[in-house]
Structure 1
Amino acid sequence: MTWDVRMRNNMFRRLPVEQATGRLYGGRHRLRVVYRTRDLIVLGLGVMIGSGIFKISGQQAAATAGPSVIISFLIAGGVCLLAALSYAELSSIVPVAGSAYSFSYVAFGEIWAWVVGWALVLELLLAASVVARAWSLYAAQALADFAVPVPSWLAGIIGQEKGFDLFAFGILVLLITMLATGSRMSLRSLWFMVMAKLIVIGLVVATGLKFFHAGNLTPFVPPERPAPAGATTVLDALLGAVTGSKPGVFGIWGIFAAAPAIAFAYIGFDLIATASEETDDAPRKVPRGMLTSLAIAVVLYVAVAVAMVGMVSTDRLDPAKPLLATAFGLVGADSMGKIIDVGAVLALTTVILVVLISLTRVVFSMSRDGLLPRPIAGMSRFRVPSRATLVAGGAAVVMSQTINVLTLEQMVVIGTLFAFLFVSAAVLALRRDRPDLHRPFRVPAAPVTAVATILATGWLMLNLKVQTWGYFTVWMVAGVLIYLVYGRRKSQMKLLLDAPPPERPVAARMEAPPPGPYVPGARPGTPAPESPYPTGRYSAGRRPGGPNQGAAGQGRYEREDAAEPPANPYALDPGVPNPFASGPHPAGRHGADQFTPSPYEGGRYGTGPYTRDPYVQDPYVQGPYEDGEREEPPSPGGRHRR
């Protein structure tokens, strides 16, 4: 086998669906089943409804799109809904913990699965680190708003954008410990915090609409302005190279430029797929929970955006300040700032919790497949992937404390959109290659929907910064090198399919027995005892005792011309006509050459090698059953009647 053929077999080998979901590959249900449909909805809302709902609408309205940010929310929500349809179909086919990583493994092969999984690791690691830092900032702001005294030695290590931060470190360690020990309090806490932040969002929307003024929505699409330095997107660079135009904000382009940043707020519906192995009846419940939670999130975000831009003109907002709290302060509702602080802290806590759950499940799945060290996939006595939780959580802690992660928010977006591309393409690939698969959920108008998702996702990716694309390229190159050095050799799929077949046991060589009759249990070469029947009906070495007890020899019964054969109930007197003889075969019911055709074409046996003799009365012919069918006795009842 040539080198390139060997590489193709190793790197582009697909994982069969049956192995991905079966026991051979450790699929469902190795993890503990804990989620129901409503739990999945709460899981989705827990990660999608974060601090972004209190910040991103005002931020993008003030800096990028103006009041037309409402359309940006709808565009981003529409793209995410298209992607969610693809996720829903694939989750119903491959209900395992890897999400887009596992879908790509089944649809495209190992190398592409690794690329997608590596992008997911980037997305989730950065998301956990970024949100932990944001949690610290909001927690410090809440302490200040509630006039809680903070010691001087503590003030310098909380609410920091970079460097060591005690709050960010503490919240990560607390949640990692809860997940690693399989604490059921994590799900109960998630329910409580999600319900609490939904109440806060309801108060924000209701209070904002009290101060709504239609004049604040004009002009709905502000005139275009030059973009600030450092905000050049890939699309701006391409258009500038072709047309010589310079990047701008607001206007029509501002609407689309705000959509990728808003997509960051919707990120999380795809993480529900990572909980498939922990969900009962996942092929149906996961798609339902995913689409329901995304629809609720889009409605809530649009409602907050309408309340925000209708309450205060975007010209009066400063993007560098907490915009929603500032807006309520401008209309005289200062108390809402404290409520927003509480809601933001609760919201960010749920985001960190769900992101850590998803991160550990992706790492667990990749380790189970051998692309990462397999010991990481070890299960604890709590039936949770504790090792993966500690490894992935530890990496998030280190990243949050050593890197200025707040400047890398768009890296989270590009990792997610990259996975969206592969998931949409996987729907088309599996519809073509495996149309036989059972799909409890099907994407409506799949070819059109999937192609539209790919185009829309590509458009959002082009609206990301050039710097973001550069960082992402470096990360992916590093990932491919890791795969070539480690994952390609250690892949469980490669080891399973490249292993030689098990050796079959070879029988010992048998020696030909010496001449003479066969004696059971005698050693080769031992002379046989003299037969008590030297002549007569049975050949030498034969034992009487029934038609089925003869030893190996020539024929079942070998008649000889003996004068006085011993009494045997099975003996046939040659002087008495044989009533079983049929046709030219004189010896017994069935001759030595072949079986005679039956004159009975129907009946129990019909024609063929096993026929009925015309001289034997068939008990199944008499009576009302003309075809020889026997009346079945009545069933005794019970669960199994046949």
Structure 2
Amino acid sequence: MRRLPPSEATGLRTGARHSLAEVYRPADLVVLGLGVMIGAGIFSIAGEQAATTAGPGVILSFMIAGIACLLACLCYAELSSTMPVSGSAYTFTYVIFGEVWAWIIGWALILELQFAAAVVARAWAAIAVGAIEHFGVRVPAANLVQDVLVLVILVLLTGVVALGARVGLRALWIMVSAKLLAIGAVIVVGVTHIDVANFGDFFVPPKTLATAPATVLETFIGEGHAFGWFGIFAAASAIAFAYIGFDIVATSAEETVNAPKAVPKGMIRSLVLATVIYLAVALVMVGMVPYTKISPQTPLAGAFRAVGVDWMVHVIDVGAVLGLTTVILVLIVGQTRVLFSMARDGLIPRRLATVSRRYHTPTRVTLVIGLVAIVLAEFVPVLTMQQLVVIGTLFAFAFVAAGVIVMRRRMPHLERGFRVPLSPLLPALSLVATLWLMVNLRVLTWAWFALWMAFGLLVYLVYGRRHSLLARPNTPARPPQGRHRR
């Protein structure tokens, strides 16, 4: 249960251990957050949940999900302002709860980010092929084409990240700007076709689902429900997954100018903006077409076709492709920084913590992450495992919320650039909200997650426990020097 001293964690920024170059400013962090939070799901999740779970009440679901994620975001903001390092929740847990728990959180983050990159790359390829076909071009051997596109996008974006944070940041600014223009067009054109009658009273009578219970909560109550207040809260759980990603902003703290102040502002502002954008698209989606006529597969595109604006389908395609491209890019950045921190602490091979002298980035670990993402996306049915991404994220959320409460008691002397208001009440509410989201995940997801964590604990006992820097106090803090070093 050895814990990393706060001075060791924060020493990363003062030269006590090797650190990354500062490249991000407050506006960059907002773009980073929007890059990962707003993907292709913005064009589908509102319609999908309205048609199958919440009806017009999906608007309330977006508000509830936004509040739940904001609570978690506030907790991340306090801890990242106190320990502005690239490890994010992994390093926070190392300092507050100890090495074993830090490894568990790091292992959960590996699951979240590595699987997410593979899942989104596979979805990106499918959407790209669909966009080509919408222009009237027939794509022969579509599955083979998708496999090639997955390889191309992952190799390209891994290369962008490996070449340096500044290169990735410029590309991110361009793609996020274009993506927001597409979303703006959807909102502006869609507003002109809203029929207020489609909103109803936001409440649809509840109904029992005929299918067998799938989530932990449904198993507990013995049956599943849709619509009504239960449906609204169930949809909020699904919608909250769309907001997930603001936590990746915290992994950029070590590379941010004036991080104790800038990172909390960047996270909170990006989440608030993403929530407003999602709400605007949801209002347009539900207002254009009655929820009973929404196609769960292509909700927004179908809605524009229904009101006779077919050309908007191409705008949606472009926005979706750009949206997923930025998501993949930011996921690779976040995963690189987490593994870099774990390697620097010795819990995984320390050679992965070397920084390229030429590009000033952890190039080795970036290339490893890109290779693993390619293997997963090409050879594993990752689209059936999307909830594994979510459970890894929520697991980290729970530890961060608890960490705020514990750190206030154990380390009140630490300087904080941001403090969660009304603590410990708001962190406790964040913990409750996170647990609520977790029980709305499938039982099968929990089973796979338990197996993954058991395997991770075995890896720690075999390797991490013995190679940890805290287990070898005489080991120099910096990784071995070499030609790849800065």
Shorter-chain TM-score: what band? over 0.9
Contact 1:256/1:463 (CA < 8 Å) preserved in 2? no
Contact 1:129/1:397 (CA < 8 Å) preserved in 2? yes
The CA RMSD measured in Å over matched residues stands at: 1.7
Q: Which structure has the higher relative contact order (CA within 8 Å, separation 6+)? A: 2
Aligned to 1:561: none
Aligned to 1:20: 9
Aligned to 1:302: 279
Matched, 1:120 2:109: yes
Shift of 1:229: 3.2
Aligned to 2:125: 136
Which whole-Å CA distance do the structure 2 matches of 1:427 and 1:71 have between them? 28
The SS at the match of 1:157 is: helix
**Counterpart code for 1:108:** F
Aligned to 1:481: 458
Which of 195, 198, 220 is the equivalent residue of 2:202? Answer: 220
Aligned to 2:264: 287
Pairs within 5 Å for 1:340-359: 340-359=316-335
Deviations 1:305-353 (A, max 9, x none): 011011101111232x211101110111111100000011011100000
Aligned to 1:269: 246
Q: Compared with structure 1, are the counterparts of its residues 331 and 228 closer, same or farther at alpha carbon in structure 2 (3 Å cutoff)? A: farther
Shift of 1:286: 0.4
Aligned to 2:347: 371
Aligned to 1:525: none
Contact 2:47/2:286 (CA < 8 Å) preserved in 1? yes
Aligned to 1:55: 44
Q: Compared with structure 1, are the counterparts of its residues 269 and 191 closer, same or farther at alpha carbon in structure 2 (3 Å cutoff)? A: same
Q: Compared with structure 1, are the counterparts of its residues 487 and 345 closer, same or farther at alpha carbon in structure 2 (3 Å cutoff)? A: same
Which of 228, 233, 237 is the equivalent residue of 1:256? Answer: 233
Shift of 1:256: 1.4
Which of 394, 412, 429 is the equivalent residue of 1:435? Answer: 412
Aligned to 1:466: 443
Shift of 1:395: 1.1
Which whole-Å CA distance do the structure 2 matches of 1:141 and 1:358 have between them? 28
Which whole-Å CA distance do the structure 1 matches of 2:405 and 2:236 have between them? 26
Which whole-Å CA distance do the structure 2 matches of 1:401 and 1:299 have between them? 35
Contact 1:76/1:259 (CA < 8 Å) preserved in 2? yes
Which whole-Å CA distance do the structure 2 matches of 1:444 and 1:183 have between them? 33
Contact 1:28/1:95 (CA < 8 Å) preserved in 2? no
Shift of 1:155: 3.0
TM-score by length of 1: 0.72
Which whole-Å CA distance do the structure 1 matches of 2:426 and 2:7 have between them? 26
Which whole-Å CA distance do the structure 2 matches of 1:492 and 1:248 have between them? 50
Aligned to 1:335: 311
Shift of 1:149: 5.0
Which whole-Å CA distance do the structure 2 matches of 1:28 and 1:204 have between them? 48
The SS at the match of 2:472 is: helix
Q: Compared with structure 1, are the counterparts of its residues 21 and 310 closer, same or farther at alpha carbon in structure 2 (3 Å cutoff)? A: same
Say which structure is richer in helix.
Answer: 2
Aligned to 2:32: 43
**Counterpart code for 1:197:** K
**Counterpart code for 2:206:** E
Contact 1:98/1:361 (CA < 8 Å) preserved in 2? yes
Kindly report structure 1 stretches of 4+ aligned residues shifted beyond 6 Å. 24-29
**Counterpart code for 2:164:** G
Which whole-Å CA distance do the structure 2 matches of 1:96 and 1:117 have between them? 14
Contact 1:27/1:96 (CA < 8 Å) preserved in 2? no
Which whole-Å CA distance do the structure 1 matches of 2:68 and 2:280 have between them? 18
**Counterpart code for 2:371:** G
Contact 1:116/1:419 (CA < 8 Å) preserved in 2? yes
Which whole-Å CA distance do the structure 2 matches of 1:54 and 1:478 have between them? 37
Aligned to 1:426: 403
Which whole-Å CA distance do the structure 2 matches of 1:269 and 1:57 have between them? 20
Contact 2:54/2:227 (CA < 8 Å) preserved in 1? yes
Pairs within 5 Å for 1:75-86: 75-86=64-75
Which whole-Å CA distance do the structure 2 matches of 1:422 and 1:228 have between them? 36
Q: Indicate the larger mover: 75-84 or 230-239.
A: 230-239
Which whole-Å CA distance do the structure 2 matches of 1:420 and 1:28 have between them? 27
Deviations 1:429-449 (A, max 9, x none): 110011111111111011001
What percent of counterpart residues are identical? 54
Which whole-Å CA distance do the structure 2 matches of 1:27 and 1:385 have between them? 18
Which whole-Å CA distance do the structure 2 matches of 1:207 and 1:464 have between them? 35
Aligned to 2:21: 32
Aligned to 1:412: 389
Which whole-Å CA distance do the structure 2 matches of 1:118 and 1:217 have between them? 43
- Which protein has the larger Cα radius of gyration, Structure 1 or Structure 2? 1
Q: Compared with structure 1, are the counterparts of its residues 26 and 127 closer, same or farther at alpha carbon in structure 2 (3 Å cutoff)? A: farther
Which of 275, 289, 298 is the equivalent residue of 1:312? Answer: 289
Q: Compared with structure 1, are the counterparts of its residues 256 and 24 closer, same or farther at alpha carbon in structure 2 (3 Å cutoff)? A: closer
Pairs within 5 Å for 1:82-93: 82-93=71-82
Pairs within 5 Å for 1:384-399: 384-399=361-376
Q: Compared with structure 1, are the counterparts of its residues 228 and 493 closer, same or farther at alpha carbon in structure 2 (3 Å cutoff)? A: farther
**Counterpart code for 1:426:** G
Which whole-Å CA distance do the structure 2 matches of 1:230 and 1:345 have between them? 35
TM-score by length of 2: 0.95
Aligned to 1:492: 469
Contact 1:19/1:25 (CA < 8 Å) preserved in 2? no
The SS at the match of 1:496 is: coil
The SS at the match of 1:14 is: coil
Q: Compared with structure 1, are the counterparts of its residues 23 and 313 closer, same or farther at alpha carbon in structure 2 (3 Å cutoff)? A: closer
Aligned to 1:182: 164
Contact 1:66/1:314 (CA < 8 Å) preserved in 2? yes
Shift of 1:464: 1.1
Which whole-Å CA distance do the structure 2 matches of 1:124 and 1:63 have between them? 28
Shift of 1:206: 1.3
Aligned to 2:479: none
Which whole-Å CA distance do the structure 2 matches of 1:102 and 1:207 have between them? 45
Which whole-Å CA distance do the structure 2 matches of 1:352 and 1:496 have between them? 38
Which of 337, 354, 373 is the equivalent residue of 1:361? Answer: 337
Q: Compared with structure 1, are the counterparts of its residues 196 and 498 closer, same or farther at alpha carbon in structure 2 (3 Å cutoff)? A: closer
Matched, 1:324 2:311: no
Aligned to 1:539: none
Which whole-Å CA distance do the structure 1 matches of 2:471 and 2:244 have between them? 33
Deviations 1:279-320 (A, max 9, x none): 11111100011100000000000110011011101111232x
Deviations 1:225-253 (A, max 9, x none): 2335366211111122xxxxx21211211
List gaps (5 residues or longer) in structure 1: 1-11, 160-164, 241-245, 500-642
**Counterpart code for 1:224:** P
Which whole-Å CA distance do the structure 2 matches of 1:427 and 1:376 have between them? 30
Which whole-Å CA distance do the structure 2 matches of 1:258 and 1:27 have between them? 46
Q: Compared with structure 1, are the counterparts of its residues 356 and 24 closer, same or farther at alpha carbon in structure 2 (3 Å cutoff)? A: closer
The SS at the match of 2:205 is: coil
Shift of 1:25: 10
Matched, 1:236 2:223: no
Deviations 1:489-510 (A, max 9, x none): 11111111799xxxxxxxxxxx
**Counterpart code for 1:146:** F
Contact 2:10/2:85 (CA < 8 Å) preserved in 1? yes
Contact 1:28/1:277 (CA < 8 Å) preserved in 2? no
Shift of 1:184: 3.4
Which whole-Å CA distance do the structure 2 matches of 1:34 and 1:28 have between them? 18
Q: Compared with structure 1, are the counterparts of its residues 25 and 237 closer, same or farther at alpha carbon in structure 2 (3 Å cutoff)? A: farther
Which of 146, 157, 164 is the equivalent residue of 2:144? Answer: 157
Contact 2:208/2:224 (CA < 8 Å) preserved in 1? yes
Shift of 1:465: 1.1
Q: Compared with structure 1, are the counterparts of its residues 216 and 44 closer, same or farther at alpha carbon in structure 2 (3 Å cutoff)? A: same
Shift of 1:188: 1.1
Shift of 1:413: 1.3
